[in-house]
Structure 1
Amino acid sequence: MYEGMIVNQIKKLGIRQDYEEYYQCGLIGLWHAYERFDAKKGYFPAYALVTVRGYILERLKKEFTVQERCVCVGEYEDIFHFEDVEMKVKDFMSVLDEKEKYIIFERFFVGKTMGEIALETEMTYYQVRWMYRQALEKMRDSVRG
């Protein structure tokens, strides 16, 4: 009975690849709609339609997020020469003092939060944030000339 609704939503969203996967998401959405439906609040087919569409859209969103995060190194190897990039990073950071270099390095290359850097350097969060912004501004200015 609701099979057509799921198929219709998949078509409306223009999904052509991984059809079975999205159909399965639609079935899961339908099951969740059945589990959570309250007859006092409305009409089940309308509730099921919104829930099924929501589950399919959520799956699409996750799929796009994964695709955005994937980077094929081979695609960029030809474009970027890593030695050149390393030299440019050194050039950018040459305008910074030691504390600024440390903050930029820990933030970008190690992935630490500003709070973690503040604890390590015995500075306040706001001092680290200010120095971080100053360092970025110095690096931007050096690029602009």
Structure 2
Amino acid sequence: MKPATFADTVVLYEGMIVNQIKRLNIYQDYEEYYQCGLIGLWHAYERYEEEKGSFPAYAVVTVRGYILERLKKECVVQERYVCTDEYEERFECEDTGTRAKDFMSVLDEKEKHIISERFFTGKNMGR
């Protein structure tokens, strides 16, 4: 039998949410996963049908399912999006001015002038 109000349900099953988070070895973004657990508990509370079984068993399965869905979505995000800071640290960018001087050292005076005017002063070399 389910509790009379959702507030009573939260008080009774808060430990179960925490337990599911621990069993899934979630140690980062704890609050976010706790909220997912509360949402799962709310859905279990709203959708529970007494003739189909006990509320505690249904609540555990529903809460765990919501937390697992959030974990899956987080994994997809991490696979699709790469943090650019990671690559910047990996491939330390040299000072562009220094690199440009190195490249320009092999050009003749006319080529240096064209590059300098076009890229460093922003002039458009019309045809």
SS of the residue 2:82 aligns to: coil
Q: Does 1:45 align with 2:48?
A: no
Is the alpha carbon distance of 1:70 and 1:27 closer, same or farther for their aligned partners in structure 2, counting shifts above 3 Å?
same
Q: Distance in 2 between matches of 1:73 and 1:36?
A: 43
Percent of aligned positions that are identical:
76
Q: Which blocks of at least 5 consecutive residues in structure 2 are unaligned? A: 1-11, 92-127
Is the alpha carbon distance of 1:73 and 1:19 closer, same or farther for their aligned partners in structure 2, counting shifts above 3 Å?
closer
Shift of 1:18: 0.6
Q: Which blocks of at least 5 consecutive residues in structure 1 are unaligned? A: 79-145
Larger radius of gyration between Structure 1 and Structure 2: 2
Counterpart pick for 2:27 among 9, 12, 16: 16
Shift of 1:5: 0.3
Q: Does 1:64 align with 2:75?
A: yes
Is the alpha carbon distance of 1:38 and 1:14 closer, same or farther for their aligned partners in structure 2, counting shifts above 3 Å?
same
Shift of 1:21: 0.5
Provide the aligned length of Structure 1 versus Structure 2: 79
SS of the residue 1:2 aligns to: helix
Amino acid at match of 2:20: Q
Amino acid at match of 1:34: Y
Amino acid at match of 1:28: I
**Alignment deviations for residues 14-35 of structure 1 (CA, whole Å, 9 cap, x no partner):** 0001101000000000000011
Amino acid at match of 1:12: R
SS of the residue 2:58 aligns to: helix
SS of the residue 1:55 aligns to: helix
Give the TM-score normalised by the residue count of structure 1: 0.51
Larger relative helix fraction: 1
Shift of 1:72: 3.4
Matches within 5 A, 1:1-145: 1-73=12-84, 75=87, 78=91
The structure 1 segments of at least 4 consecutive aligned residues displaced by more than 3 Å after TM superposition are: none
Give the TM-score normalised by the residue count of structure 2: 0.58
Q: What residue is the counterpart of 2:3 in the other structure?
A: none
